[in-house]
Amino acid sequence: MRKRISAFVIFILLSISLSSTSAELNERISINLDRGMISTAPVTNGEIVIIKSIGHLTALDINDGSEKWMVEHPTPHFFEISPPLFHSTIENDLLLVGWTDGMVCAYDATTGEEVWNRSTEMKGYGITGALLMVEDEVIVPYDHGLMALDVLTGSLSWDVVVEEQLFYRSSPAVFGNTYLMGSETGVLWEISPNSAPSQFYSPSADIESPMIRGPVMVLDDRILIPVQGSSNGSLIETDGISTIVHPALGTIAILAYRDGGVVVATSQYTTVYDCETWCVALQTLTDESVTGEVGFENGVITLPINDAEGRWLRFSQDCNLGNCTWVKITPLLHSQPQYLTAGAGYFNNAIFIANDAGWVDIITNGALSSISNEKKEQNNTPEGDVFALLFILPGAAMVAIGVRKESWAKYLPALGASIILLGAGYYLQAISELTTSTSEVSEDPLRELMPELWKGTQVVVFEFENGLPSRFTGNETFLGSNGELIDSHQFAGGGRVFVGGLEGYDDVRSLTIAAAEIAALAYQEHSEEMGYRVDRIGGVIDGEGGFWLLYWEDGIIGQQAIDANSIRDDAVIIWRVV
């Protein structure tokens, strides 16, 4: 009997170890699209998943993550935030897309072939709000108006221009027979087909530099209006007669609604409201920065945390004796820590998540077929899985032999069991590393090339294949904070200039300006609503020839605005052209 029990225990141990290892090998697929920032949630028609990035649409097979087709589209901006929209017809599935160059296009969802397109005049950011389907028309919010197009042909049904106004990330909301859309001045406009637009709401003087940057929410006879300001903001709730002001400090994310509950997330905190009647704040979920697409589906709230570690916090309702609170459940962690604003795509057989670095992770609900090795994330499998088997298998053999040999029964099974436990320890550690977010900041490997005297200081690297002055071309050049030449030697990648020993700079903008001046590189920038953006460094012009000036902060690709966040006292900023 003892032998049978021991053999059974061995079988269970091995089965758990091997099956768990196999599950971990197959539970996540990571794909580097290498097509720029992904700022909108993946969408699906049940067969393919669409990922929208800077100037690209990529269709991935929902079952194995393989690429079905890809479309390129020229874009004048370093972001694309109008989400794609599927529309099924008798003939085929259409994919409707608005771009920041002001173009709206319809694609065949099976092949990616363009079916029709229509251009709008771009005065600012082109199309950044969500398209809306109303019967057989697609309602398109462009940056200074609203139009309706026939969904099959793209022919114009009506077009209303709101003079002297700009719209950014503002989407139309149906309000009776009209549409509501908020502008960059904080005014909520009521727009009717073939009629002059009228002001539905104007912000109070209490809000500094008011803006409406997202869709309003219509709840029966009430309207929720997210108004953000330069130093304050509010969620305005009104029925046209009475108005309640709910504080909402910071940049306001896309509002989310489900069964009377509304999630109001900002760059400072996230609050859940009960809005069955007039909204009442129920609970603060987090004080971490949320500025993108909030999810509220199937009883789960999903918040994209926009920091360098980039993760999706999730909350589920826990009810006890009628008292319900929102509690944290397992977060979604990306294999490539990075800033993010895109919501998660919850599909029947997997969760698709994407970030600003252009990576897509597929977290499977079951084993998905593997895709090509080029697209797999090589570090997904915990090394401890294999290492653990080196302990578990010999340990199991010792237990098996020990229970069969009476002369060894006193010590060999115990020794084998100890070795199995040691291997299990490595396995659990590996799984912990896979599922736990790290708080360490990624370091750029270029730090190892720098002079020892630069340790603990701020460094800027200009790495351009072309665009550097001739004195830097073909060389790797190190310049001190006073412009002195520390070292220079040949470099095969065009040219690379290190400017180091810098101290006391608070953001990427001030540090880059100082380094460019030291290296005598021409520098140009301009200010946008989201902050400053670089137009030129040296001979490299942002956007020229379809290439963009991007920066990395301590090994992580940075946000668009170069003054968007503070930097470390020993930050390494790298400028490249991609």
- Whether 563 maps to a domain, the answer reads yes
d(CA 251, CA 481): 36
Residue 557 sits in a domain whose CATH number is 2.170.130.30
d(CA 405, CA 438): 47
Task: Report, in this order, helix, strand and coil percent for the chain, each rounded to 5.
Answer: 15, 40, 45
Q: Are residues 505 and 552 in the same domain?
A: yes
Helix and strand counts by DSSP (H, E) for the chain: 4, 42
- Boundary (domain end) residue, out of 415, 435, 455: 435
Q: CA dist 320 to 42, 275, 280, 323, Å?
A: 35, 21, 20, 5
pLDDT of residue 481: 93
Residue 271 sits in a domain whose CATH number is 2.130.10.10
pLDDT of residue 449: 75
Helices (H), 496-577: 508-518
Q: Are residues 453 and 554 in the same domain?
A: yes
HSE-up of residue 164 (Cα within 13 Å, Cβ side): 1
Helix (H) or strand (E) holding 138: strand 137-142
DSSP labels, 86-115: EEE-SS-EEEEEE-TTSEEEEEETTT--EE
- Whether 315 maps to a domain, the answer reads yes
104 - beta bridge partners?
98, 118
Q: 412-435 vs 2-26: helix axis angle to the nearest 10?
A: 20
Residue-wise pLDDT for 3-25, tens only, equals 444 444 444 444 444 443 333 33
- The answer to whether the CB of 216 falls within 8 A of the CB of 210 is no
Q: Are residues 231 and 295 in the same domain?
A: yes
- Whether 368 maps to a domain, the answer reads no
Q: Specify the range with the lowest mean pLDDT, choosing from 433-447, 485-499, 523-537.
A: 433-447
- Boundary (domain end) residue, out of 340, 373, 390: 340
Q: Are residues 424 and 469 in the same domain?
A: no
User: Which residue has tokens 């809306």?
Assistant: 132
Backbone angles phi, psi at 4, to 5 degrees: -65, -45
Q: Are residues 282 and 389 in the same domain?
A: no
- Give the chain's length: 578
Q: Are residues 421 and 454 in the same domain?
A: no
d(CA 61, CA 51): 11
Please state the rounded mean pLDDT for residues 136-150. Answer: 96
Question: Residues 94, 95, 98, 99: is their CA dihedral positive or negative?
Answer: negative
- The closest of 517, 565, 523, 567 to 542, measured between CA atoms, is 523
Q: Cα 406 to the chain's mean position, in Å?
A: 61
Pick the more confident residue, 426 or 197: 197
Q: Are residues 386 and 319 in the same domain?
A: no
Which residues span the domain enclosing 499? 445-577
- Boundary (domain end) residue, out of 291, 313, 340: 340
- The answer to whether the CB of 496 falls within 8 A of the CB of 487 is no
Q: Are residues 385 and 266 in the same domain?
A: no
- Whether 157 maps to a domain, the answer reads no
**Token digits for 376?**
């797999």
Q: Are residues 213 and 292 in the same domain?
A: yes
User: Which residue has tokens 């989400």?
Assistant: 83
3-state secondary structure of 364: strand
Q: Are residues 332 and 242 in the same domain?
A: yes
**Token digits for 17?**
């170890």
d(CA 299, CA 258): 8
Q: Specify the range with the lowest mean pLDDT, choosing from 205-209, 250-254, 456-460, 513-517.
A: 205-209
- Whether 44 maps to a domain, the answer reads no
Backbone angles phi, psi at 236, to 5 degrees: -90, 125
Whole-structure pTM value? 0.68
d(CA 279, CA 281): 7
pLDDT of residue 374: 36
Backbone angles phi, psi at 149, to 5 degrees: -125, 145
For residue 490, the one-letter residue type is Q
Longest dimension (CA), the chain: 97
d(CA 174, CA 523): 46
Please state the rounded mean pLDDT for residues 332-354. Answer: 92
DSSP labels, 422-487: HHHHHHHHHHHHHHS---PPP--GGGGGS-GGGTTSEEEEEE-SS-S-TTTTTEEEEE-TTS-EEE
Q: How many domains does the chain have?
A: 3
Residue-wise pLDDT for 226-262, tens only, equals 999 887 889 999 998 999 999 998 889 999 999 999 9
Helix (H) or strand (E) holding 221: none
**Token digits for 365?**
């609900």
- Whether 363 maps to a domain, the answer reads no
pLDDT confidence bin for 532, thresholds 50/70/90 = confident
pLDDT confidence bin for 394, thresholds 50/70/90 = low
- The closest of 569, 556, 555 to 457, measured between CA atoms, is 569
- Whether 572 maps to a domain, the answer reads yes
Residue-wise pLDDT for 33-57, tens only, equals 989 899 999 999 999 999 999 999 9
Q: Are residues 568 and 449 in the same domain?
A: yes
- Whether 420 maps to a domain, the answer reads yes
Residue-wise pLDDT for 148-169, tens only, equals 999 999 999 999 999 889 999 9
Q: E strands along 355-417, which residues?
A: 359-364
Q: Are residues 209 and 334 in the same domain?
A: yes
